[in-house]
Structure 1
Amino acid sequence: MFPIQRPRRLRQTANLRRMVQENLLTVNDLIYPLFAVPGTSVAKEVTSMPGVYQLSVDKIVEEAKEVYDLGIPSIILFGIPDSKDDDATGAWHDCGIVQKAASAVKEAVPDLVVIADTCLCEYTGHGHCGYLEVGDLTGRVLNDPTLELLKKTAVSQAKAGADIIAPSGMMDGFVQAIRQGLDEAGFQDTPILSYAAKYASAYYGPFRDAAESAPQFGDRRTYQMDPANGREALKEVELDIAEGADMLMVKPALAYMDIIWRVKEITQLPVAAYNVSGEYSMVKAAALNGWVDEQKIVLETLTAFKRSGADLILTYHAKDAARWLKD
């Protein structure tokens, strides 16, 4: 009780505050997303995501070198193919854009950890994450046939050099199917980072510009989670752990820090938070208008993800954050 208890005693100086700081954000926590497109010397800025680009493989390699030099340990690759079809061929073909980018990065920067986003929405003409019933206009994906596509995609990405497979389609049983496929193909040591709790969120809008993956009809609410639900996320996490997930993802992050905390409480596995495109774009827009201090708000937000329990943070701010942390 006051005046005996005075919490401000431990806030008197910068070094004292540093000594009692509970959570520490470091460059080791960061994963940088990159968008690979066909062509050469392509660097097309995403209008809704200032500072983020669609990059050809040669430019992806340049970015990967810069990321590695900044001390960021990992990138995650998303692909935009030159053509799309109902079988999502560009996702699992050995000459797919993510496969090409993964191979090129591993050759140029072998110590950089390459994560492959294992989803199908960028590769289907309808923009949904798997097979649909013929004539379906609601976006209800056929679960079990889609598992075979995801299995093929994961194996091809691992063959191309991806260090980690990150399935994001929220199909029931997708971790088990991918684990089986990887093991049968000789990739028993390739970990799976499961998008275990992925919500049907409005925060994904700018990403769909970057990945050219917006659904052409319907929505993704039959497979992505209802933002109102929390217990369901824990159920999804428990199922993915039982199926063999090595790491778990909560997406989005900013409005779901309670979910990150609850997931961390029930598992010893590493937990990742995806600081998604809408979260990034809101900060960028406010910073460009002079409404917020970008550096301070980004580092505060990323530290908050750590405080909520995240071990890893996928963020488009990664390069800037690495420079700020170094300074």
Structure 2
Amino acid sequence: MTGQAERSVETLLRTQIIDPDCTWSLGSYGAVAAFRRNPDEPARRLDDGRIGLMTDRGAIAFAVSPALRPFAYETGFTGGWSQAVALCLPAAACAMGRRAVLTELGADAAAARPEDRDGILFDLGLGLDAVDACVRVTDPALIACLRAVSGRPLFDAGNPVVHALKVSGPHRVFVARPGRIEVYTAIPAPDGVGEPGPHCHILPQLLRLRRTHAATAPIPHGWVPVAALHPAHPVKDACGLSIPFDAARHAAFERLLDAWGDPGLVALRRAVLSGGVPDPVLADGRFARSAIRAARAQRAAMDA
């Protein structure tokens, strides 16, 4: 990446980090931490050179590297579309700990808040290639519990630590090469619904598939998405509820697609939105069909 391109990535991150309507995620398929804040929620910027924010519910911290590359895309589905900018690294440069068992890592010197840097990090041992999914613990009893079962897979039958973590709700800390997301909120009950703010999920049934990302995401071969930003959606609020079509949000993501999207998919999108017929050569393939569905859903929303 050239110096100019690296500065462009930094501008992208700094512009989006100050927008409370942008949600951030970091993780892998089946294990993701997310950061979002309310428009009126107090937030502090990090003072250590990293791009990020801290609130009472969570934190995000990123650093731009020459290898980091954004990919903007839309995914069409029945009744709507999603949008994201994946933050990717080359497959050869994304490796993290890749631990398959619960492992103590020591004090979290890189914690976003200085007061959290004495907490002890434990890698949950999910075996992810590009992300370390951890908990940060200060409670002596929970530290002792985790140490007693270190070296075992988290989801071993009879492993008591899963229940202990759900009850105590320590900070969840997901770390990748570009940065981290920290979640301080309580872990909701299995049948509960968390707030639309910082949260994480770990889904063993998806982890078993050993994928780095959903098959619907048009990530170029050789790249691994380790994080993503999700700008404000034109027809959905933070809770996923329908809102009237917001032309400004739609135009804002269009600019991101122009800057960071696949040119062929962007051309298909433009053809549909302008009322034209997509180029049949470009329209061949799974990702092309999804981009066309997304554009058609946008046309419908604009005309509603």
TM-score by length of 2: 0.26
Larger % of helix: which?
A: 1
Larger % of strand: which?
A: 2
Q: Which has the higher contact order (CA 8 A, sep 6+)?
A: 2
